Amino acid sequence: MAADDSRQAALCRLHRIDKHFGRTHALRGASLELRPGEVLALVGENGAGKTTLMNVLFGLIAPDAGGFELEGREGFFADAADAIAHGFGMVHQHFMLFDDMSVLENVVIGAEGPGRLGRIDLAARAAEVTEVMRRFGFHLPLETRVRDLPVAARQQIEIVKLLYREARVVILDEPTAVLTPQEADALFSMLRGLAGEGRAVVVITHKLSEVMTHADRVVVMRGGEVAGERRVAETSAAEIARLMVGRDIAPVEKKTHAGTGTRLALRGLLCAAREGERQVGPVDLDLRPGEILGIAGVAGSGQGPLVETLVGLRPAESGRIELDGQDITRANVAARRAAGLAYMAEDRMRSGLAIEASLAENAVAGREAQPPFARGPLRALGAVADFGRDLIARYDIRATGPTQRVAQLSGGNKQKIVVGRELSGTPRLIVAHNPCWGVDIGAIRFIQDQLLAAAEAGAAVIFVSSELDELFALSDRLAVLYDGQVQALLDRGDLETGRVGRAMAGAAA
Amino acid sequence: MIWDATFFESIPRFITPLLLAALGGALCHRAAVFNIALEGMMLIGAFFAVVGSYFTAHWLGGIGAALAAGLASGGLYAWFTVRRGGDDIVVSIGLNILAAGLTVFLLRAMFDQRGQFDDPAIATLPRIPLPGIDAIPVAGPLLSGQSVLFWLALALVPVLHWGLVRHRLGLRLRAAGDNAPALRTLGLSPERIRTLAILASGALCALGGAQLSISNVSLFTEGMSAGRGWIAVVIVMMCASRPLWILPAAVFFGLVDAMGVRAQAYGLPQQLTDALPYVLAIVVMAATLRRATLRVRI
Amino acid sequence: MSRARWIVPLAALAAIALIPDLRAIALGFLDGAFGGRNMFNLWSTVSRASILLGMAVGVLVAFRAGLINLGGEGQLVLGGLAAALVGIYAPLPVWAIVPAAVLGAMLAGGLWGMLALWLDRGLKVPLLVGSLLLNYPAGYFASWLASHPLRDVASGIAQTHRIDRDARLPRFDGTILDYGIFFTVAVALLVILADRYSVFGYRLRMQGLAPGFARAQGMPTGRLGYQALFLSGAIAGLTGFTAVFGFAQRYVDGMLTLPLYAWTGIVAVLLAGIVPWRVPIAAALFAVLATGAGGMERVAGIPRESAQIITGLVILWLAGSGRSLMRRRGE
């Protein structure tokens, strides 16, 4: 191993951790060492075991085998409280905050300090938190409810929470997924400062550019094992990618085949806002057949309302939506689908699938009342099952059969049902909202290829994603949303991280 | 005359059970436990208050038995929801049915009575006279000579309000309701805090039941809670579980109860006045929930 | 663990067989549920099972669509009341009375059910609470009618006059079981088949499992909800009709509420895990439990409310056994 030279300096060490979940071998002898003063990147695919390993570290999961050593002390933490007491802190990908409580309450809960009969001395705690924030250069309004703060500020609360508890080990799970590139840079320079004071910093990520720019050391996990460990100075992004996947991944082949004419036209489209929401729109866009329009933006910039309005789940306040020249602004979901709309919902588990229903029942949803799946008011169960089997074969879905409950399938296989259902019947307009989120790399490639093929066949595609990499790979044009507005509309040739990042932050591109 | 001393004297008696049960329900709701077994917990409290009071011939015995039974029913609820992962609504339905059956069963098994049990040996709660206020026209009958539970319920309103904001348990209770997994990552147990909330709601509902059976009267009748637990659920929902809002809401429904009883004396059929609180509950909920200030967690 | 599972019931059976008092109680239970002179008790069990089946199937329709309708009691009562009004007062030829009463009962129950959903969707009163609260005005209104304006004063108790003799549902020869059971069984069969074989049943089910999904796939979720609640209430109303035109032959105050038919119907659906074909079995089980408890009371003086206690405990135990009794929205 390349990093043996600094062994002495280890703060703590996970040793040959093994863990099974049922028949899944989640961790296979994985070892990990954390060193003070260092920023460590932990990378790997979905399901590579990163999260499980961190849960073992925090005492949330008891491993089947292996050891843990902290400053000469052997034995795993009993629970999260034990880990926190020993100076371990973690910022989860989905923030662990209490939305209806104030920033101050979020920071001090669980560490409320002394107080007679459990009373909390809020003034004293506020002074302490203010002091912590001053030391590390944070500016957060202590009395504001978390619900009313932007995402970047929420992440800062999480970090202040750790610093208030005097964490020596700071672990962040996918911390930049919700940030603009500029915000991400600011975060990493702050983390560098924390490491400089002697803390051990671990960043779990799948963005190799971040690893190469900001980390000192990188540990790559694959299939529950540590596939490799390198000093960043001595490796390359290509090598890390190879370690992650176990083979070379060819880049997506993108050809432009946008046709002529207008498939979709949005004219001053204003999405109806629900209570407490910012307004989204007005949006003006044109889409040609065969064109893929990427939509980028920090989470919560208006992607959700825009997509819902496009597919008919949310009314338009004003403006027009035209599909092939036909006004569908007031049409309901069923009418839009009949006109050729396909929709891959972001929330796969609730909106994309009925996970308690069978594979075949999910596969025919939306066309359940049409032949061949129904004869009059009655369902044609034979045709439904046939279609399920057909989908399993064509999309290589790992399932026991059309009657298997969807809940039992893996994330990638679930999403294949969605993609297969929506792409069967040659759609004219595809609205895909984060279709590759949370699936393994093989399925990601499959889904991307399917979208490209559909575009080649003439469908217009609206591709909303939180991953700049895949947006850059697939888009013919890219619209950047900021605060409910199209901040920039860039052609494929103009796609460049700095420009898109500035637009995501609300500046001119 | 409708607005006589008897009327004012009756108002707090109707407010107290609603207030106690609603406060208990609010604690659960704040911790994201949708406890709609308030009705059953009240019924159990009402019955065991009579049992304790009858056998010890002292009101404290009644309160003690009601509290014990209330804690037991809360424990049962907590066991099946928090420990065994049962659905709040299903467990509530089960507990309500169990309470209805158990009280009637025991009424017959213990006292060999059907429908109702009254006995001179049942001691009632002491009334607290307020010398000096007695003589004032409206405030006198309203405040003087009310039961200890009335004053306890009133005192709990600011206490619980303060506790939810300024006490570490209150903070953790709200946190458990807001985002239980997040509480767990802090090394704290949402299960424990929920159990505490459920136990407290059992005790409070049982005290509300005791007010019904050994303060307002000194007897137990089958189905004595008569839907008050459901009105309490309505109060919890329309007040978004805020103790300070629950007080006026409980006063409102207490007044409706009191006026209904009054109206019967003037010849209005009992069935129609009995239905009034439920109709009003729907109307008031529609009026308050429309602005969607409350995200009901069910 | 697996051994403990059958040791308990086995030990219970052994105790019942060996201890004379327990044996007497058990025999009392069996006699109460299945015995009696001319099998009187058996027929009354079947009669009760018919009512419970009707109530359970009504609840099933709503629960399948993910709509927690706890308003079965009000829907049942108003259905029974409407049937009684038609049966007693409508100036109709005899042959038209039953169809008119069925229609009236189903309309009354169905509209009361739709009202609960309208309160939810239009006014944001959660269905669970709104439907439950609607039970009380319905119940008190029926009680007032039966004890004041419509009262058969001569009878001395709070009840209406009798239904016209020729319009009553006939009984099976030599039993107390009336033809009402044809209605409830037919409805149950229809619902069980429609759940699996009709597009409507499929859509209801999808909406119940994942409302966001049903909407995103373009199913008419707004209409479906009202249809489900109307059907649910209408089936409860029809059940009220069978009780009024069947065993009671009139509307008696409390006849539909005191036996907790609506709650037992809900419990039966939960016990069945909201699976249609299991619902009739669960309904029959609770009918046996109730009449059997009556038998235990007669032979051993154990109050018949033991049935309610067991019902409550069964639900608690089921809820805690981790079976998915109610598929919760979200999470």
- The answer to whether A78 contacts chain C (CB < 8 Å) is no
Mean pLDDT, rounded, of chain B: 90
Tens of pLDDT, residues C47-87? 999 999 999 999 999 999 999 999 999 999 999 999 999 99
Tens of pLDDT, residues A138-182? 899 999 999 888 888 899 999 999 999 989 999 999 888 778 888
- The answer to whether A113 contacts chain B (CB < 8 Å) is no
Q: Given B166, B179, B187, which is nearest A98 (Cβ)?
A: B179
C-alpha A16 chain-centroid distance? 29
Q: What residues make up the domain containing B157? A: 5-126+143-288
Q: How many distinct structural domains can be found in chain B?
A: 1
Question: Is residue C102 a contact partner of residue C82, using CB atoms and an 8 Å limit?
Answer: no
Mutation target among A308, A336, A379 for the C interface, most CBs of C within 10 A: A379
Predicted local distance difference test score (pLDDT) of residue B293: 41
Is the pLDDT at A453 greater than 60, yes or no?
yes
Joined together, the tokens standing for residue B241 give 């579980």
> Considering the domain boundaries, does residue C284 fall inside one?
no
A-chain residues within 8 Å CB-CB of B174?
98, 100-101
- The answer to whether B87 contacts chain C (CB < 8 Å) is yes
> Considering the domain boundaries, does residue C327 fall inside one?
no
The owner of tokens 């034995």 is: A75
Secondary structure class of B240 (helix, strand, coil): coil
Q: What residues make up the domain containing C47? A: 42-256
Each residue's pLDDT, cut to its tens digit, for chain C (331 residues) gives 455 677 877 888 888 888 888 888 888 888 888 887 778 889 999 999 999 999 999 999 999 999 999 999 999 999 999 999 999 998 989 899 999 999 999 999 999 999 999 999 988 899 999 999 999 999 999 999 999 888 988 888 889 988 888 888 888 888 889 999 999 999 999 999 999 999 999 999 999 999 999 999 999 999 999 999 999 999 999 999 999 999 888 999 989 988 889 999 999 999 888 899 999 999 999 999 999 998 888 888 888 889 999 999 988 988 887 654 444 332 2
Predicted local distance difference test score (pLDDT) of residue B297: 34
Predicted local distance difference test score (pLDDT) of residue C74: 96
Could you write out the DSSP letters of every residue in C179-215? THHHHHHHHHHHHHHHHHHBHHHHHHHHHHH-HHHHH
Secondary structure class of A490 (helix, strand, coil): strand
Q: How confident is the model at residue A249 (pLDDT cuts 50, 70, 90)?
A: low
Predicted local distance difference test score (pLDDT) of residue C35: 83
Q: How confident is the model at residue A216 (pLDDT cuts 50, 70, 90)?
A: very high
Predicted local distance difference test score (pLDDT) of residue A44: 86
**How many Å apart are CA C181 and CA C185, to the nearest integer?**
6
Ranges A106-115, A433-442, A477-486, B198-207, most confident: B198-207
> Considering the domain boundaries, does residue C262 fall inside one?
no
Look at residues B50, B52, B27 and name the one whose alpha carbon lies nearest to residue B38. B27
> Considering the domain boundaries, does residue B131 fall inside one?
no
Phi, psi at A331, each rounded to 5°:
-75, 150
Joined together, the tokens standing for residue C89 give 């007062």
> Considering the domain boundaries, does residue B293 fall inside one?
no
Is the pLDDT at B295 greater than 50, yes or no?
no
Mean pLDDT, rounded, of chain A: 89
> Considering the domain boundaries, does residue C154 fall inside one?
yes
Q: How confident is the model at residue A107 (pLDDT cuts 50, 70, 90)?
A: very high
Mutation target among A362, A367, A368 for the C interface, most CBs of C within 10 A: A368
Predicted local distance difference test score (pLDDT) of residue A243: 86
> Considering the domain boundaries, does residue C31 fall inside one?
no
Predicted local distance difference test score (pLDDT) of residue C323: 55
**How many Å apart are CA B42 and CA B99, to the nearest integer?**
9
**How many Å apart are CA B91 and CA B94, to the nearest integer?**
5
CB atoms near residue A60 (< 10 Å): 17
Q: Which domain CATH number covers B217?
A: 1.10.3470.10
Top pLDDT among B280 and A468 is at B280
User: Which residue from B minimizes the CA distance to A81?
Assistant: B187
Is the pLDDT at A473 greater than 70, yes or no?
yes
Predicted local distance difference test score (pLDDT) of residue A426: 86
> Considering the domain boundaries, does residue B198 fall inside one?
yes
Question: Is residue B282 a contact partner of residue C137, using CB atoms and an 8 Å limit?
Answer: no
Question: Is residue A43 a contact partner of residue A221, using CB atoms and an 8 Å limit?
Answer: yes
> Considering the domain boundaries, does residue B151 fall inside one?
yes
Is the pLDDT at B29 greater than 80, yes or no?
yes
Complex ipTM value? 0.88
B-chain residues within 8 Å CB-CB of C322?
84-85
Predicted local distance difference test score (pLDDT) of residue B144: 78
Check A81 against B174: CB less than 8 A apart.
Answer: no
> Considering the domain boundaries, does residue B33 fall inside one?
yes
**A161: number of CA atoms within 13 Å, CB side?**
31
Percent with pLDDT over 90 in chain A: 57
Predicted local distance difference test score (pLDDT) of residue B233: 94
**How many Å apart are CA B107 and CA B113, to the nearest integer?**
6
- The answer to whether B263 contacts chain C (CB < 8 Å) is no
Q: Which residues pair with A462 in a beta bridge?
A: A293, A431
Predicted local distance difference test score (pLDDT) of residue B298: 29
> Considering the domain boundaries, does residue C314 fall inside one?
no
Percent with pLDDT over 70 in chain A: 97
Check A368 against C199: CB less than 8 A apart.
Answer: yes
Tens of pLDDT, residues A320-360? 999 999 999 999 999 999 999 999 999 888 899 999 999 99
- The whole-number average pLDDT for the span B170-193 is 93
- The answer to whether A98 contacts chain B (CB < 8 Å) is yes
> Considering the domain boundaries, does residue C32 fall inside one?
no
**How many Å apart are CA A15 and CA C112, to the nearest integer?**
65
Top pLDDT among C258 and B37 is at B37
Joined together, the tokens standing for residue A177 give 């997924």
Torsion of CA B21, B23, B25, B26, to 10 degrees: 160
Could you write out the DSSP letters of every residue in B33-73? -----HHHHHHHHHHHHHHHHHHHSSHHHHHHHHHHHHHHH
Q: How many distinct structural domains can be found in chain C?
A: 1
Mutation target among B167, B169, B186 for the A interface, most CBs of A within 10 A: B186
Predicted local distance difference test score (pLDDT) of residue A117: 82
Q: Given A347, A357, A379, which is nearest C198 (Cβ)?
A: A379
Query: CA separation (Å) from C5 to A305, B9, B139, B252, C11?
Result: 52, 57, 62, 51, 11
Partner chains of B (3+ C-beta pairs under 8 Å): A, C
End-to-end CA distance of chain A: 44
Predicted local distance difference test score (pLDDT) of residue A301: 87
Identify each DSSP E strand in chain C by its residue range.
Answer: none
> Considering the domain boundaries, does residue C244 fall inside one?
yes
Tens of pLDDT, residues B224-258? 998 999 999 999 998 888 999 999 999 999 999 99
